[in-house]
Amino acid sequence: MQDFKNNQNIVYGRIPALNTLENHKATKAFVQKGFSDERVLSEIKKARIPLAYVDIAKLDELSSKGNHQGVVLEVKPFEYSDLTSIINISKKKEHPLILILDEIEDPHNFGAIIRSADAFGVDGIVIKKQNQVPVTMTVSKVSTGAIEFVRIAQVANLSIAIEKLKENGYWIYSADGSGNDDYQNIKYDGPVALVVGSEGRGISRLVLKNSDFIIKIPMSGHVNSLNVSVATGILLSRIRNK
């Protein structure tokens, strides 16, 4: 299991910075000397937060040499949502959809999944508190600002969370290579909770046991699996366009 300690309260890159500033979550801005993006500078001014002009070495340090594009923000700690509130908000929608991640370890995959979740109108994401990458600056960057619009709940136990979802009328669809049902042939009626598994181990046995459907994406090439973020995007597109 990986040790996920990189949870600094930093956002970098122009689009993520703009989304963060517009949502009033920044506490301090660092921009490169000579930085001339008037839109970013205007939003920093509107936010009334301290602004420091620094050299590129300082920005590289703050962003762990990420692609900061000349701007780094210190932000308020990410606020996780409560599962109950996500359920209550989701159930008010015409087609409730919640995404469950079973131990995603790569922050780039997590960020890409958040981006897809926003694109396809997911009402909330559920992750574990342990053995799952949390919201880090890399996750935020890869999400290209979508992190500001997708609710995320941390839970101690996914099986208990799934039981709670079932009690509220959700059908649990787990995406796993062991499934017998082609994802394209499922109707996805009623409130849907989609489960995707970790990059190496997939979905745990207990979660699979508690699922109502185990679906798979048929492979016709020479490899037998897809990157989890790619698979998630495919599945969410199908669910939303059923």
The pLDDT tens digits of the residues spanning 198-231 come to 988 899 999 999 999 999 999 887 777 789 999 9
How many angstroms from the chain centroid is the CA of residue 66?
19
Separation of alpha carbons 53 and 63, rounded Å = 15
**pLDDT for res 220:** 83
List, for the chain, all residue ranges whose pLDDT scores fall below the cut of 70: 1-8
Record: fold of 10-75 = 60s Ribosomal Protein L30; Chain: A; (3.30.1330)
94: which DSSP letter?
S
DSSP 196-209: EEBTTTBS-HHHHH
Superfamily of domain 83-240: SPOUT methyltransferase, trefoil knot domain (3.40.1280.10)
d(CA 159, CA 164): 9
Looking at residue 81, the DSSP 8-state letter turns out to be B
Predicted TM-score of the model (pTM): 0.80
pLDDT confidence of residue 8: 59
Domain ranges of the chain: 10-75, 83-240
According to the model, what pLDDT value does residue 7 have?
A: 43
- Separation of alpha carbons 218 and 223, rounded Å: 11
Burial 43-71 (b: 16+ CB within 10 A, else e): bbeebebeeeeeeeeebeebbeebebbbb
Instruction: Determine the pLDDT at residue 37.
Output: 95
3-class DSSP state of 84: helix
Q: State residue 183's pLDDT score.
A: 96
CB within 8 A of 36, min separation 6: which ones?
none
4-114-187 Cα angle (round to 5): 125
